[in-house]
A and B are shown apart, each in its own frame.
Chain A
Amino acid sequence: MPILHSAIIIGTGKIGIDLYIKCKKSKIFNKIYIFNKNKNSLGAKFCIKKKFLYSPMGITGINDRLKECKFIFDATSAEANIGILKELKNKIDNKYFINLTPSKNGKFIVPYTHDKKIPNIINLITCGGQTSTPVITEFKKILGNKLKYVELVSSISSKSAGKATRDNIDEYIQTTEMAIQKLANVKNIKVIINLNPSEPPVNMMNSLFFETKNKIILSDLKKMQKAINLINKKIKSYIPQYNAKIFKSLETNIIRVTIRVIGQGDYLPKYAGNLDIITSSAVYLAKIINEK
Chain B
Amino acid sequence: MKNNKLIISDVTLRDGNHAVSHSLNVEVIKKYCLEAEKTNIKIIEVGHGNGLGASSLSIGRSVIKDELALKTARKHLKKTKLSIHSIPGFSRIDNLKMAIDCGVDIFRLGTNSTEVDTLYRQIEFCKKNKVEVWGVLMMAHLVYNKEKDYLKQVKFLVDQGVKTIIIMDSAGVFLPPDIIEIFSNIKKKFNVQLGFHGHNNFGCAIWNSIAAYKSGANIIDASIKGFGAGAGNTQIDILITILEKLNIKTNIDINNLYSLAKNFPSLLKKNKIHYKNAFSEPKNIMSANFGLFSGFASKVDYYSKKFKLNDIEAFKSIGEKKLVAGQEDLIFNILLNLRNKK
Whether B90 is near chain A, meaning CB under 8 Å from some CB there, is yes
- The residue in chain A whose Cβ has the minimal distance to the Cβ of B111 is A195
Whether B336 is near chain A, meaning CB under 8 Å from some CB there, is yes
Q: Give every chain A residue within 8 A of B336 (Cβ-Cβ).
A: 247
Q: Which of B56, B58, B142, B333 has the most A CB atoms < 10 Å from its CB?
A: B58
Q: How far is the CA of A275 from the CA of B121 in the complex (A)?
A: 22
Task: From B75-83, B112-120, B166-174, give the one contacting chain A.
Answer: B112-120
Per-residue A-contact encoding for B315-342, CB less than 8 Å = 1, 0 else: 0000000111011011011001000000
Whether A170 is near chain B, meaning CB under 8 Å from some CB there, is yes
Whether B93 is near chain A, meaning CB under 8 Å from some CB there, is yes
- The residue in chain B whose Cβ has the minimal distance to the Cβ of A194 is B326
CB distance from A31 to the nearest CB of B (A): 38
Tell me the A131-183 residues at the B interface (CB within 8 Å).
Answer: 149, 151, 153, 155, 158, 161, 163, 166-170, 173-174
B121 and A169 contacting across the interface, CB-CB below 8 Å: yes
Which bracket fits the contact residues of B? 20 to 34
A205 and B93 contacting across the interface, CB-CB below 8 Å: no
Whether B57 is near chain A, meaning CB under 8 Å from some CB there, is yes
Q: Give every chain B residue within 8 A of A231 (Cβ-Cβ).
A: none
Q: Which of B58, B122, B324, B327 contacts A151 (CB 8 A)?
A: B58
- The residue in chain A whose Cβ has the minimal distance to the Cβ of B139 is A197
Task: From A13-21, A37-45, A84-92, A249-257, give the one contacting chain B.
Answer: A249-257
CB distance from A271 to the nearest CB of B (A): 13
Which bracket fits the contact residues of A? 20 to 34
Whether A258 is near chain B, meaning CB under 8 Å from some CB there, is yes
Q: Give every chain B residue within 8 A of A153 (Cβ-Cβ).
A: 56, 58, 327, 329
Whether B308 is near chain A, meaning CB under 8 Å from some CB there, is no
B326 and A192 contacting across the interface, CB-CB below 8 Å: yes
Q: How far is the CA of A209 from the CA of B332 in the complex (A)?
A: 12
Whether A104 is near chain B, meaning CB under 8 Å from some CB there, is no
Q: Which of B93, B118, B333 contacts A247 (CB 8 A)?
A: B333
Whether A196 is near chain B, meaning CB under 8 Å from some CB there, is yes
B115 and A250 contacting across the interface, CB-CB below 8 Å: no
A170 and B57 contacting across the interface, CB-CB below 8 Å: no
Instruction: Report if A167-B89 is in contact (Cβ < 8 Å); known contacts: A151-B57, A194-B324, A197-B112.
Output: no
Sample of 14 further A-B pairs with CB below 8 A, known A158-B114, A194-B326, A196-B324: A149-B57, A155-B327, A155-B330, A158-B115, A166-B118, A169-B89, A170-B92, A195-B89, A195-B114, A195-B115, A196-B322, A198-B322, A202-B322, A207-B329
User: Which B residues are closer than 8 A to A by beta carbons?
Assistant: 56-58, 88-90, 92-93, 112, 114-115, 117-118, 120-122, 142, 303, 306, 322-324, 326-327, 329-330, 332-333, 336
User: Which A residues are closer than 8 A to B by beta carbons?
Assistant: 149, 151, 153, 155, 158, 161, 163, 166-170, 173-174, 190, 192-198, 202, 205, 207, 209, 211, 247, 249-250, 254, 256, 258
Of the A-B pairs whose beta carbons lie under 8 Å apart in the complex, a sample of 21, sorted by A's number, is A151-B56, A151-B57, A153-B329, A155-B326, A158-B114, A166-B115, A167-B117, A168-B121, A170-B93, A170-B121, A174-B92, A190-B56, A193-B89, A196-B324, A197-B142, A197-B324, A207-B333, A209-B57, A211-B57, A249-B332, A256-B332
